[in-house]
Amino acid sequence: MLRRLIVQNVALIERLDIEFTDGFNVLTGETGAGKSIVIDAVNLALGERASRELISHGAQKAVVEAMFDAEASPQLLALFEENGLTWEDGELLLSRELSAAGKSVCRANGALITLSLLKRITDLLVDVHGQHEHQSLLSKARHMDYLDAFGGPRSAESKDRVAAAYARYKALREELLGGFGSEDERAREIDVLTYQINEIEQAGLQAGEEEALKAERTILSNAERIEKALETGAALVSGEAAALSCLGEALREVKNIAAYSEAYAALAAKLEEAYYAAEDIGYTLRDLKAGAEFDPQRADAIERRLDVYGLLRRKYGEDYAAVMAFYSKASDRLELLTGAEAHKEKLEKDVAGALQAYTREAEALTALRQTAAQELEQGMLRQLGELGLAHARFTVQFQPVEEPAALGRERAEFLLSANAGEPLMPLEKVASGGEMSRIMLALKAMFAQNDEIATLIFDEIDTGVSGRIAAVVGDKLVRLSDSHQVLCVTHLPQIAALADAHFLVEKHTDGAHTHTQVHMLNMERRCEQVAAMMSGSEASQFAYAHAKELIAASEAAKKTRRKPNEMPV
């Protein structure tokens, strides 16, 4: 629950430190005293949009701190764990700083957090109803959760069984379909894989073939130059008066003098070696020249083969190894998708059985939801009638979900018509101001016992009501405070008299500055304030006595209704 609110430099509030109690907290004050500023400060702490105009004149920043004292709900603990935050000793301190430059700094237990995370946290802690919207009940996405919560433990257990049945069905179906969501997708992938595998197999790729073909293509593309070079080289080495003839003459001359010196003999040996090498080169040049004829058909065949390699590399990998790795992976995937027929048949039976089990559980949950919806509709009509909306209509509209889902086979939305002759419409479109507050109060009264949001704030819920309706509104608020912490801004003495804690919002001027202050009233001041609200001016003796009687009757009624351990602190 919201235990303490500290506000600095928000509009006319220079500094404010309020400690709220459990139960029913009431804020009253004259028009213009600053009650709306307190709600603005609360909304700032809750992560709502804020304007720099909220910052007090001359101040550089506005700061709001909200301390909550409660055990964290499972949802809140999961949110904290997800974001690396800690919840210590049942206390949570949320703060938000808004600078004149428009920068917003948010913290949870001292750790910096984003504005969106702050709002996600406070959505689980507080609902504000009235002039400023912070209302989970208006969110269509949460209507199913509220309906299931209203349905009680049976609905919760049925919902868990549906989720478990869906999880089993989904897992078996994904296994059968190889991770896809439909048989069509599975069939399409089988077709694609089959085509890809056949394309690679028919190509008959071989390791090193592409490199060899490229080398051969290079030779063929330079055949004329190669042939000329070989022919010229052969003539220069082996032709008449060519290198080989010259080496032969030189060898004969040196051999004639080899007997005169070892140096001459060695030189003759080298010339002989060079002669035979040149002779071998000559033979090789002639052989290469004979085999260097250009074949246009072979060149075309090489280009076609290289095109095959290029096409497959563009589709499946940068080289031969990558293409073959793709082929291996595709073959494994195809085998998995087609699978052994016997295993596939078993999976199909398992999927069919899981779907039947899911359908049974989902139909049971649907029946519970329909029963809960009827009870909610009847209760809402009763609540709205008591709150002065006798011609209002309320219904729970179900939209079927075609495919199996973890939440069941339908979604719910709350529709309402506030006045006779008006069509049923979504909640956020049917009313505003005090009318919307009464609708929200009726819903909260219905959901009170199952709502995990502990703190409810109603901003001027008494707008447009008086007399008997005001008394009914007050009674519903105080009954809500039996199980929730309720903060209410009101102008009605009938409601103020019911408070467990009464705060007076006042505006003071010191000549140069105007400031808003908030004080918690003792019993005597409470009686004076309620009496003043009755008479519209300074309280008369009669008004004071009436106020004292109202407050005493309220205290007695709450003491009788609440158990000792539920009395507000």
Q: pLDDT per residue over 88-140, tens digit each?
A: 777 889 999 999 888 899 999 889 999 999 999 998 888 887 644 445 677 88
What does the pLDDT read at residue 168?
95
What pLDDT, on a 0 to 100 scale, did the predictor assign at position 564?
Answer: 54
Question: Quick check: 487 and 520 in contact, CB under 8 A?
Answer: no
| pLDDT score at 268 | 86
Q: Which is the CATH superfamily of the domain at 1-125+462-478+486-569?
A: P-loop containing nucleotide triphosphate hydrolases (3.40.50.300)
Whole-structure pTM value: 0.61
pLDDT score, position 550? 87
How far is the C-alpha of 221 from the C-alpha of 81, rounded, in Å? 69
Residue whose C-alpha is closest to residue 278's, from 70, 286, 293: 286
Neighbours of 568 (CB within 10 A): 17
User: What pLDDT, on the 0 to 100 scale, is given for residue 245?
Assistant: 84
Extract the residue ranges of the chain whose pLDDT is less than 50.
131-134, 565, 567-569
Residue 567: the pLDDT is 46
2-10 and 61-69 strand pairing:
antiparallel
Strands (DSSP E) along 268-400, which ranges? 393-400
Residue 24 is predicted with a pLDDT of 93
The structural domains of the chain, with segments of one domain joined by +, span: 1-125+462-478+486-569
Structure tokens at 262: 């070892």
Q: What is the pLDDT of residue 440?
A: 77
- Rounded to the nearest 10 degrees, what angle do helices 143-151 and 433-447 cross at? 40
Pairing type for strands 501-509 and 410-417 reads: unpaired
Per-residue confidence (pLDDT) for residue 216, from 0 to 100: 81
Distance (Å, whole) CA 74 – CA 331: 46
Rounded Cα–Cα distance for residues 291 and 68 (Å):
95
Confidence at residue 569, expressed as pLDDT on a 0 to 100 scale: 40
Question: 128 forms bridges with which residues in the sheet?
Answer: 134, 457
Per the DSSP assignment, residues forming a β-bridge with 397 are 413
Q: What is the pLDDT of residue 399?
A: 94
* Residue for token pair 């919560």: 149
Please name the residues in contact with 463: beta carbons below 8 A apart, sequence gap of 6 or more: 433, 434, 437
The single residue listed with the structure tokens 């009624």 is 557
457, 478 contact by CB (below 8 A)? no
Distance CA 87, CA 504 (A): 33
pLDDT in tens, 209-256: 989 988 888 888 787 788 788 778 878 887 766 788 888 888 888 888
Q: Identify the three-state secondary structure at position 141.
A: helix
SS3 494: helix
What does the alpha-carbon distance between residue 525 and residue 267 come to, in Å, rounded to a whole number?
134
User: Which of 28, 119, 100 has its CA nearest to residue 526?
Assistant: 28
